[in-house]
Amino acid sequence: MSAQILPFASPASACGSSHGECHDPRVADHPCYSKDAHHKYARLHLPVAPACNIQCNYCNRKYDCSNESRPGVVSEVLSPEEAARKVLAVADAIPQLSVVGIAGPGDAFANWPRTSATLRAVKKMLPALKLCLSSNGLNVAPHVGELAELGVDHVTLTINTLEPEIAARIYPWVFWEHKRWRGLEAAEILIREQWRAAAALTAAGVLVKINSVYIPGLNDDELPKISAKAAGMGVAIHNIMPLISDPAHGTHFGLSGQRAPSEEEIESVRARCAAHLPQMGHCHQCRADAVGMLGEDRGAEFAREHLDSLTLDAQAIAARHAAVQASLKAGGGQSWKIAVASADGQRIDQHFGHAEAFRIYESDGQSVKLVALRRTAAYCQGPSDCGDDDAALPKLVQSLADCAAILAVRIGHAPWKKLEQAGIQPVVEHAFASIEASVLAVAQKLLEQVQEAHTKRA
């Protein structure tokens, strides 16, 4: 499997596949789009776009808590020059860096001069990088020509409804053509511009993803309609994101008691949307300044105050980056994180649900090293309730999001399914075997799969 994006079949896949498997190479290499790629490639979001041109009822720009992990929240705003330097520093430390995105903290297109200057500088330094942007869509269409010229290959548009009446309950105002618009007028402008943007982007050959925030009771039936309309325009993929409505975040929806959707509601809406477009099943709603592989955030290492003291040899970094990117594309030079449930540290000797900690190993198929010990709250309380709908399970799976596989003595049916959905391979065939030999065997198998996929694609 080279780029399985979704757990659902998709008869109308924009990538011309009938099994929800997407062979578009632009998707296969993207850590945010492809389940496989997110173990292999790293991405960096640059917080260069502070201003926003609309207000959403699920966003509160006032708070920037370092414990937060939701879009629209960043701890520092970088100038285009600082951002370019950060990219270089990250590429030096993590040459697997393959995607650089601008997602906020405001809107990439509401800060167009800063966004375009950053893209230009980054592309000039490290031409192998993919550039992606995300936006509410309001101010995208006027810049599509320049995007193509800059070599931007992915744009994400957040579209939550097709109906102005519903949009007016999600967006209190928009700033458009030098004026603040409210209510239905604002909603009509926004929806019109969003679809104008989607059409212009796909026509220009840019890969388009649509994000939709699922607000139960408000846009349940809108989401499949968005999928259908987007499919007709050549949009590649749809990502349904559950509303985050904790009142502590101070958003309008949070304060007014709008609830978040349940897991079942999300699954059912995704299944309805999958009739039209491939669905993204493993979004981590990462912070707008996220650094590193999906699921781990190494932002603090590259904070502004550390950047100044680094000496960076731009030419050497660029050369090494180009070499590593080429080798990654060819299926080599990579390693995987593999989680192990073990009490004695020698053998795989624990059930998934009983483990109080997971040992995280890294292997390239040749050597094995222990890289982390992650504590968990063992979520399974006894043999009879092996976690079918336990609330701790999604958290647990999320904490292993950067791992390609998990090795345990036994893994229950519910966690097995959840792990698979998150792109983490559950493995029980090495029960009670030595950790080192088993991790090595699993890594070798992963390597074979990648090489196989690569020969098939070539």
Partner 1 sequence: MALSITDRCIDCWACMTVCPNAAIAHVEGLFVIDPQRCTECLGDYAAPQCASICPAEGAIENEWGEALNPPGSLTPAIAGAKES
Binding-site ranges for partner 1 (CB under 8 A):
50-53, 55, 57, 61-62, 77, 106, 110-111, 113, 172-173, 175, 178-180, 252, 255-256
Please report which helix (H) or strand (E) contains residue 94, including its range. Answer: none
In the complex, least distance from residue 171 CB atom to partner 1, rounded to whole angstroms: 10
Which CB sits closer to partner 1, 164 or 332? 164
Which CB sits closer to partner 1, 255 or 414? 255
In the complex, least distance from residue 179 CB atom to partner 1, rounded to whole angstroms: 6
Which CB sits closer to partner 1, 50 or 387? 50
In the complex, least distance from residue 61 CB atom to partner 1, rounded to whole angstroms: 5
In the complex, least distance from residue 70 CB atom to partner 1, rounded to whole angstroms: 16
Whether the CB-CB separation of 229 and 12 falls below 8 Å is answered with: no
CA proximity to 279, closest of 37, 31, 43, 21? 21
CA 255-260-266 angle, to 5 degrees, is: 165
Which CB sits closer to partner 1, 219 or 334? 219
Which CB sits closer to partner 1, 105 or 415? 105
Please give the Cα distance from 141 to 138 (Å, whole number): 8
Q: How many CA atoms lie within 13 A of 111 on its CB side?
A: 26
The two three-digit tokens of residue 318, written as one number: 């660029």
Whether the CB-CB separation of 64 and 120 falls below 8 Å is answered with: no
DSSP letters spanning 307-364: HTT----HHHHHHHHHHHHHHHHTT-S--EEEEE--SSSSB----GGG-SEEEEEEE-
In the complex, least distance from residue 114 CB atom to partner 1, rounded to whole angstroms: 8
In the complex, least distance from residue 52 CB atom to partner 1, rounded to whole angstroms: 6
Which CB sits closer to partner 1, 25 or 250? 250
Please give the Cα distance from 203 to 236 (Å, whole number): 13
Strand order across the 368-375 sheet: 368-375, 357-363, 336-340, 405-407, 425-427
DSSP letters spanning 189-226: HHHHHHHHHHHHHHHTT-EEEEEEEE-TTTSTTHHHHH
Residue the block writes with tokens 């990462």: 286
Which CB sits closer to partner 1, 55 or 158? 55
In the complex, least distance from residue 159 CB atom to partner 1, rounded to whole angstroms: 20
Which CB sits closer to partner 1, 53 or 279? 53
Please give the Cα distance from 149 to 189 (Å, whole number): 27
In the complex, least distance from residue 50 CB atom to partner 1, rounded to whole angstroms: 4
In the complex, least distance from residue 455 CB atom to partner 1, rounded to whole angstroms: 49
Burial of 179 (0-12, 13-18, 19+ CB in 10 A): exposed
Which CB sits closer to partner 1, 246 or 356? 246
